[in-house]
Amino acid sequence: MRKITIFAIAGLLAFASVYAAPQGNAVQTAATTLGAANIKTLQFTGSGRNFSVGQNYAPNEAWPPVPVKNYTALINYDTASMRLELLREVTGPTMPRGGGAPISGEQRQIQVVSGNYAWNVPVPPANAPAGAAAPPAAAAPDAQLERMLALWATPQGFVKAAMANNATTRSAKGGTEVSFTVGGKYKMIGTINAQGQVEKVQTWIDHPIVGDMPVETTYSGYKDFGGVQFPSHIVQTQDGYPSLDITISAVTANPQVNITVPDNVRSFTPPAVRVDSKQMGEGVYYLTGGSHHSLAIAMKDHIVVVDTPNNEARAIAVLAKAKELIPGKPIRYVVTSHHHWDHLGGIRAAMDEGATIVTHQSNKAFLERVAKTPHTIVPDRLASSKKPVKIETVGDKRVLTDGTRTIELYLLKGYEHTGDMLVIYLPKEKLLAEPDAFTPPPQPGGPLVRTAIPYAKALYDNVQRLKLDVQVIAPFHGNRTGDMAELAKAAQVGSSN
């Protein structure tokens, strides 16, 4: 898990004294225009799209959009709490081009933050028996910072936070720029126009790949919603691409908002990173134990690791496990299956290891950028070592060999999840390692989500095209391996459905 400094601003908002403190005229005007002093709680509802951040089809494309039928935020500024409920929907047989977990039909998500705690509220399945106990809340500590900053980036929240954090102001194009720092290290910069409306808020959050990642929220089309001045259109970008685009339909001031931190969330301690291993052949190890898996392969005088996922902590543990299983040899190559952030999250640890990064040629420029991204909010190992990155690229095919063992890397074609997906084939073991294209269901014979079927079909078609003799499929998600017969069935090869 990435280490972040957790903070809440509730304790800083002593409004009786804060509002008496001198403030820039623009902040005072905005406070009056937006009713910041009188709005203790707020609800706003809309619809539009959110986007799968870090899951673009190519590293230089926008994040893939998913329609949002309902977007409802419920905020208590006095307790620094927010409950966000989204109803997303994919109606067609395929996902939008790019990544993101496949869904079909409606998907309801409930995300909550309160002070130092963040959690998700599981939504019971539609077929759950009547009277069944609701699933417990799932602690989400890594989401606390982003959600808390989103709370204080709302127009009324921004004004309240500016007043509580000794904001400075200066004239800027389009109005007044207001700047302050929360939690001792998280900068927020906003623009207030001449009408006292917050038009834009910028902040930065730590990300293990792109470092100090900019998050920018733009507000436009202010309207009077039952006595509350609020924007009718909200657009947010992360790392320069849209991540949220919502049209607001209703706003309510001071609704009842009581958000209580569940006991299991309050007492939650993140488990230590665990890397399990399963030997798949002589010198070949399948590294599991988390949500994302890796592969370690022994060569004559070095080690090849495939994928350093999630974050720096996971990557460090994976690299250490590889060296434990294959002692006395350095990790010379780390193969990245593709550029999606969940599978690439620990790549800077691999760079710090001194390994040569092997990736598809379309990903080279992005990795060169990643190697240089500033990590000042949460410095990582590479930020300290500043080791130069070494990258080798793959086109349609690349073979890594030591004269005895051969590792074949192939680009998946006709695959809409990403354009740079490399699968790993070990001819001696007849083993195919792949992420995302096919994750065997928890129980053999179970169906795939409808929108995941095209991915499985693409993998099956590529195996046939390449004439690979595959006996075992080692997916980089899920709880078990599979084989070609199961893949063919999941891909509905020869089926009329």
Say if residue 356 is in the same domain as residue 475: yes
Domain count, the chain: 2
37 pLDDT band (50/70/90 cuts)? very high
User: Residues 167-224: pLDDT tens digits?
Assistant: 999 999 889 999 999 988 899 999 999 999 999 999 999 999 999 999 999 999 999 9
Give the chain's mean pLDDT. 93
pLDDT of residue 135: 87
Q: 17 pLDDT exceeds 70?
A: no
Q: Is the pTM of this model over 0.75?
A: yes
369 in a domain, yes or no? yes
Rounded to whole angstroms, the Cα distance separating 394 from 57 reads: 17
Region 139-161: mean pLDDT is 97
2 in a domain, yes or no? no
pLDDT of residue 124: 79
pLDDT of residue 494: 72
Say if residue 18 is in the same domain as residue 160: yes
More confident residue, 10 or 202: 202
The enclosing domain of 79 has a CATH number of 2.50.20.10
Say if residue 246 is in the same domain as residue 363: no
* Domain end (from 213, 232, 266): 266
The enclosing domain of 321 has a CATH number of 3.60.15.10
Say if residue 303 is in the same domain as residue 260: no
User: Residues 270-284: pLDDT tens digits?
Assistant: 999 999 999 999 999
Q: 18 pLDDT exceeds 70?
A: no
Say if residue 171 is in the same domain as residue 73: yes
From residue 445, give the alpha-carbon distance in Å to each of 106, 292, 449, 489.
24, 22, 13, 8
* Domain end (from 266, 299, 317): 266
121 in a domain, yes or no? yes
271 in a domain, yes or no? no
Region 36-60: mean pLDDT is 97
495 in a domain, yes or no? no
pLDDT of residue 395: 98
pLDDT of residue 24: 62
Say if residue 210 is in the same domain as residue 310: no
Say if residue 150 is in the same domain as residue 298: no
Say if residue 63 is in the same domain as residue 189: yes
Say if residue 168 is in the same domain as residue 285: no
Say if residue 330 is in the same domain as residue 229: no
User: Residues 364-401: pLDDT tens digits?
Assistant: 999 999 999 999 999 999 999 999 999 999 999 999 99
**Domain hosting residue 292, numbered range:** 276-490
Region 409-438: mean pLDDT is 98
* Domain end (from 266, 288, 307): 266
Q: 131 pLDDT exceeds 90?
A: no
pLDDT of residue 463: 98
